[in-house]
Structure 1
């Protein structure tokens, strides 16, 4: 059947889900942990999102994450390695068709850390842009319901514009 793109209104329980998972992840990453953050659309209270909790973990050394693959598996996570982004270690919780959490691990100082946090913070502080992003996501979810890669690709121009605004 394959994964489907479904966006739903913001669910206040996403914050609690993040906090619960962050505590579990902190226990695993503690020896190398620098910080942990709720990112992605579920971290932006006013917008629709896929019900998948994105978590950004900053560590001292990303290569040390290879030693945590088994403890992460015990929490239900599958290691996907860099998964297309140099310097990242990515984990996914759930099956190929239904993910509940995405974990993005970077070494302190990686440029993607600031990008993710700036994007989240910008949309939290700019409700007009957040609403436009929410509407775009809803429209694309309807158009690309059966094609998650195309859904993601079609958001890229908007995301790049927000990234630019967030840096300024």
Structure 2
């Protein structure tokens, strides 16, 4: 997998909104909220052009029954994919290039708070977001065909920012909830 990091694209928000409408229909009454997370949700930073969704549901066990509806939207079901309590789906375009990640958690999962805290902290602290953007660009150049190396290289920075975010309590901006 080629690690591509591109400049911020304002179309990412529109792509998030368009895909959210489809996911709302697939998840029906089990849906609580859909959040735009990941680097495409942070204005003005470089990112892999993959839209990340964090979806809160009432009952995570119902996702098993709803998987076929999500798969009909072109997603591949990956189960927990290494994170207990999560249901993970990914989608590729017709050329086989990854375009979407869906992370589903039951409401009140601490993972929801962690993801939103990081995103909101980065938005509220553009100097840290710029550092993250620079790091991502450097790592993509250093590890163009090694996604693990790219991810490992971001890990320390992300963990440090998550700690700051959780302490600052600047998160929980609900402007992207659908």
1:59-98 alignment runs, 5 A limit: 59-94=57-92, 98=97
Structure 1 stretches of 4+ moved >3 Å: none
Q: What is the distance in 2 between the residues matched to 1:64 and 1:73?
A: 15
Q: 1:114 and 2:113 equivalent?
A: yes
What's 2:126 paired with? 127
How much has 1:73 moved relative to structure 2? 1.1
My pick for the range that moved more, 94-103 or 36-45, is: 94-103
List gaps (5 residues or longer) in structure 1. none
Deviations 1:59-116 (A, max 9, x none): 0111110111111111000000000100000000017952100000000111110000
The root-mean-square deviation of aligned C-alpha atoms, in Å, is 1.2
- Superposed counterparts of 1:1-150, under 5 Å: 3-94=1-92, 98-150=97-149
Output the TM-score relative to the length of structure 1. Answer: 0.96
TM-superposed deviation, 1:150: 1.4
> Whole-Å Cα distance in 2 between the matches of residues 73 and 97 of structure 1?
16
Q: What TM-score results when the alignment is normalised by the length of structure 2?
A: 0.91
Runs (5+) with no aligned partner, structure 2? 168-178
Count of residues paired in the alignment: 166
